[in-house]
Amino acid sequence: MTYENLQISIEDGIAIITINREKALNALNRKTMSELRYFFETEGADRTDISGVIITGAGEKAFVAGADITEFQGLNAAQGKELSQYGQDVFELIEEFKKPVVAAVNGFALGGGCELAMACHLRIAGEKARFGQPEVNLGLIPGYGGTQRLIQYIGKTKATELMMTADMISATDALQLGLVNYVVPVGDEVAKAKELLNKIATKAPGAIAKIIKTVNAYFAAETDGFASEVSAFGECCATEDFREGAAAFVEKRAANFKGK
C-alpha cells in the first residue's frame, strides 16, 4: 500500500509511524484509519525486522486532535454504528499487536487521538501534551473504545468526569492519574519511546507477546485472565528462549533470545 497520511520509517528495528496531517492537527479521517488498519493487520504483522512500533503526530502541536470532524457531519444511526465498530476494530488490532506499541504523545491527544494513545501498550507524553475526550461538545460520546479504556486506565470516577465535562488535562495530571507512563521534555517523546522499546527488545519476544495477550485478557469479558496466564505460561516453558534465559542465568551471562 502507498500511504498518504502515515509516514513510516524503520529505525534500529523500530517502526515509527507518524500521523501526517499536520494542517488538520493530524485528525483521523477514514483514509488514515484504513492505513492504520493495513499496517497493524498486514504490513506490520508480517514484518520480521521490527521489534516494536512508535506512533506519533507530525508537527509540534498535536499528536491527534480527534476523529476528523469534517467527515462525520450528517451521519445517521446505522452509519455511526458502522464507523464506531470500524474504529474499534482498528484500535483493537493495535492493542492486540504482538509487539509493543508506544504512543509518543507530542501535543493534543483529544477524542479519537486520546483513544488511539490508549489503544497503545505504553504512552510517553511531552510536557505540553493535553489529553481529553471532548465528544460531548459535539453531541457525541467517544466511539473508538474511549468510554471503556479511559475507565481501565484512570478509574470510573475521573473518567466519567472527563467525558462529561470535556475538560482537557495536562501531561502531569495524566501521569498522576496513570494514563501515561512518563512525561518528558518537549521533543524527547520519540527518544524516550525508543529507549523503552530498546530495553524491551532485549527480552524474549514470545514472552512479551504473551504479556500483551494476558494483560488484554484481564479486560476481555469473555476471557478468564487467570486461565489465559496459565496457558501462556505453559507455552513459554516450551520455548527455546526459556531454556536460553534459564541457562544464561545459571551461567551468569546475558541471554541471547531468538524468538523461538
* Residue numbers annotated as active site: 115, 135
Query: According to CB under 6 A, which one of 66, 100, 126, 145 is a site residue for ligand DAK?
Result: 66
Query: According to CB under 6 A, which one of 52, 57, 87, 206 is a site residue for ligand DAK?
Result: 87
The H or E element spanning position 11 is: strand 6-11
Exposed (0-12), middle (13-18) or buried (19+): which is 162, by Cβ within 10 Å?
A: buried
Stretch that binds ligand DAK, among 109-117, 228-236, 242-250, 251-259 (CB under 6 A): 109-117
Q: Do the Cβ atoms of 234 and 215 come closer than 8 Å?
A: no
Stretch that binds ligand DAK, among 45-53, 105-113, 157-165, 216-224 (CB under 6 A): 105-113
20 near ligand DAK, rule: CB under 6 A: no
Beta bridge partners of 67: 28
Query: According to CB under 6 A, which one of 126, 143, 145, 206 is a site residue for ligand DAK?
Result: 143
Query: According to CB under 6 A, which one of 36, 83, 184, 201 is a site residue for ligand DAK?
Result: 83
Residue entry with cell 466519567: 160
Nearer to ligand DAK, 58 or 196 (CB): 58
Q: Do the Cβ atoms of 16 and 54 come closer than 8 Å?
A: yes
Torsion, Cα of 30, 36, 42, 46 (10° steps): 170
Stretch that binds ligand DAK, among 78-86, 98-106, 208-216, 248-256 (CB under 6 A): 78-86
The CA-atom distances, in angstroms, between 114 and each of 36, 55, 232, 240 are: 15, 12, 30, 38
236 near ligand DAK, rule: CB under 6 A: no
**Footprint of ligand DAK on this chain (CB under 6 A)?**
24-25, 27, 65-70, 72, 75, 80, 83-84, 87, 108, 110-112, 134-135, 137-138, 140, 143-144
